[in-house]
Amino acid sequence: MSIFYAVGVGSGNPLEITLQAKQILEQVDVIVIPVTQEQASSIAFAIAEQVADMRNAEKLKIVFPMRKHINYKNYLKSGILLPITERLAMGKNIAMITLGDVSVYSTANYVRQVISEQGYHTQVIAGISSFSSGVAKAQLSLCENQENLLILPAVNSPEVIKNALLQADNIIIMKAGNALAWLLPMLKELNLFDKTIMFYHLNMPDEYIGVPVIEKQSYFTILFIKKKGLC
């Protein structure tokens, strides 16, 4: 019985990979490497490669374009997963690597759903999410006592984000890069700027963890707002 594994490999530090993820990456017949363009390299693969021996597995690069305004699940049913399902039908075990945690805004989770709907066995291997990795490095807690934690992406309207900032005790804003032009003034207006820490290119050579700055625009920019203060 072949299995499709969606494997989270953590957020840039190879040592963040779990024992289970390493074990599975070293056992499967095929590694699916998601890329955004045909010629692009994969950060997730570069990370995993440092700690998992995947030499004997077939590497299957598949282009998953980042597209905000399409129905992604329908798109995945258009045939681009055939290289995966053909190999599953041949009895091969397959692992698709993904940055962070599979359950948090990941393409791998959609892929797993579509493959499962076609009758194949699937499994999810949890990974350390980017926000968990970031707050650990900054030695901050995400939530304490009775506090709540709200996680949402900046691909929401300013009104939605403002409401989140007003209501929750701790807020993680993912994919904040493109929204910094209005997000940073909003944080100042709500007197939350001093209670915000920015994570940019976490665990990469140009990593930045500190006061939010407008220049650090990236798909991987995360803001963490902690209302009781950054301590």
Question: Residue numbers of the site for its own copies (CB under 8 A)?
Answer: 10, 13-20, 22-23, 51, 72, 101-106, 109-110, 112-113, 116, 122-129, 132-133, 135-137, 139-153, 155-156, 164, 167-168, 231
140 CB contacts (<8 Å, ≥6 apart)?
197, 224, 226, 230, 231
> Would the CA dihedral through 83, 84, 87, 93 be positive or negative?
positive
- Nearest alpha carbon to residue 96 among 53, 58, 134: 58
172 neighbors 150 (Cβ within 8 angstroms): yes
Q: How far is CA 129 from the centre of its chain?
A: 6
User: Residue 46 to residues 17, 51, 84, 201, 215: CA-CA distances in angstroms?
Assistant: 12, 10, 21, 15, 26
User: Phi/psi at 174 (nearest 5 deg)?
Assistant: -85, 160
